[in-house]
Amino acid sequence: MTCHFQRKAKGGAAILGGSLALSLLASASMAADPIRIGVLEDQSGEFAAATIQKVHGAQLAAEEINEAGGIMGRPVELVIYDPQSDNRRYQELMRRMLQRDNVDVVFAGFSSASREAVRPIVNQMDALYFYTNQYEGGVCDANVVATGAVPEQQFSTLVPWMMETYGKRVYTIAADYNFGQISAEWVRQIVEENGGEMVGEEFIPLGVSQFSQTIQNIQAAQPDVLMTLLVGTAQASFYEQAAAADLGIPMGSSVNVAQGYEHRRFDPPALEGMHVTANYIEEVDTPASRDFVARWRAMFPDEVYINQPGQNSYVGIHLYKAAVERAGSTEKAAVREAIQSGEVCVDAPEGQVCIDPKSQHASHTIYLVQVGADHEISIPKVWEGIEPYWLGEAGCDLTQRDHDAQYTPSSPPAQN
């Protein structure tokens, strides 16, 4: 116990020194000290359907890395816990990982609520945290590398395309927490910038599963485009109920299909007319994607669907590897310095992904995913290499100053 706290107190250098000494002691006869990666992803509870793949993606990446000789000769060891879609468990387990398990980096969280629940703990312990999910954007935090797609990648592409294709009257229904509220703000702003009109907006508490009245409210407003920013399995019931009532309005989303594979879970034509801008789904038909799907299915033959969170988790671990190898160390300061070179990139199944030095967010290839009447997938448009520019332009510059806040279009960083 005392030994443990001493190590903690002396910080990263002591740990590094300790591991160096250990590997010297072990000499050539034993394997090098492993790099411990904490994986805190829901394997049960409200979000499990979309997040079990995040665990599998991490396991696939770890196995591949270990087969190829590890990171700088050190094997990767995953420390996996199930926070059960419960934010309090996220906090308990995050403390446990950072204090007791001494992991080098944590990969954690599906919902923005869970991310915001653990971020203060990560900052308090001064740890390195990869958040790999697509989200509403705006987290500018020295300890956070956010590798999922953000609004300038998902909404700046999707919303103008939808308005051009279907019309300018837009209605938004969104999950009522930080993800839905901030995403809806983005939609509102982009619609207004493009000369469109918001004809309605409704925020729905998580866990609501009955939507008759919402469907009627939407019909009363007669929108051309319906943006659905619904989250979780209960809210996904909306699509079946909207189809049964023959709503028939083209839908756009940043989360559906790519996360909860609703097009596979629901009977056609519940998801007909859905459009999603995703940085990956299983149906992406490129050599890199096909190869990835084959390797994944070889390791997890029963996987129901390889979704965007699964790919992101896989890519996140490879990005971490690239950063550590460039840094020559797992120490946070060195890894951040490597990221600030702007040259931490990997060739992901989706295409090339690089980490932006200013915001520590990732560039992405964005696929416009369209769902047909039989739930067949088509990809009418691809945007390659979209940078996560908004935070940097708004004034977040982690190369110059450490922030630890989430910003929104209506509350950008203070300029100085």
Partner 1 sequence: MLQEVFAFLYQFGDAFAFLVLSAAGLAIIFGMMGIINLAHGEFIMCGAYVTVIMARLGLPLPLAILCGALAAGLAGILVERLIIHRLYHRPLDSIVATWGISLIVTQTVLILLGSTMPGIGTPLDSFSIGAFSYSEYRLVLMAVAVLLLIALYLLFNVTRFGLLARATIQKPQMAQALGVRTSRVYSLTFGLGAALAGLAGGLYAPTMTLVPTMGVTFIVESFVTVVVGGADVFLGTAPAAAVLALIKAVMTGWQGQLFGQIGLLVTVIIVIRILPRGISGWFLKERT
Residue ranges that bind partner 1, judged by CB under 8 A: 43-46, 48-49, 52, 176, 202-205, 207-214, 216-217, 219-220, 222, 233-234, 236-237, 240-241, 243-248, 264-268, 270, 304
- 366/381 Cα distance (integer angstroms): 9
Token look-up 């977040």 returns 396
User: Quick one: 23 or 43, whose CB is closer to partner 1?
Assistant: 43
State the nearest-atom distance from the C-beta of 170 to partner 1, in Å.
Answer: 16
Residues found in the chain: 416
User: Quick one: 50 or 103, whose CB is closer to partner 1?
Assistant: 50
Three-state DSSP class for residue 78: strand
- 236/314 Cα distance (integer angstroms): 25
Burial class of residue 119 (count of CB atoms within 10 Å of its CB; 0-12, 13-18, 19+): buried
User: Quick one: 149 or 270, whose CB is closer to partner 1?
Assistant: 270
Query: Which residue from 363, 361, 332 is spatially nearest to 347, judged by alpha carbons?
Result: 363
User: Quick one: 7 or 265, whose CB is closer to partner 1?
Assistant: 265
State the nearest-atom distance from the C-beta of 367 to partner 1, in Å.
Answer: 23
User: Quick one: 46 or 141, whose CB is closer to partner 1?
Assistant: 46
- 281/179 Cα distance (integer angstroms): 21
Query: Which residue from 365, 369, 112 is spatially nearest to 253, judged by alpha carbons?
Result: 369
User: Quick one: 2 or 213, whose CB is closer to partner 1?
Assistant: 213
Which two three-digit tokens encode residue 301? 């033959």
State the nearest-atom distance from the C-beta of 213 to partner 1, in Å.
Answer: 4
State the nearest-atom distance from the C-beta of 129 to partner 1, in Å.
Answer: 25
Helix boundaries (H) for 27-166: 48-67, 87-99, 112-125, 151-166
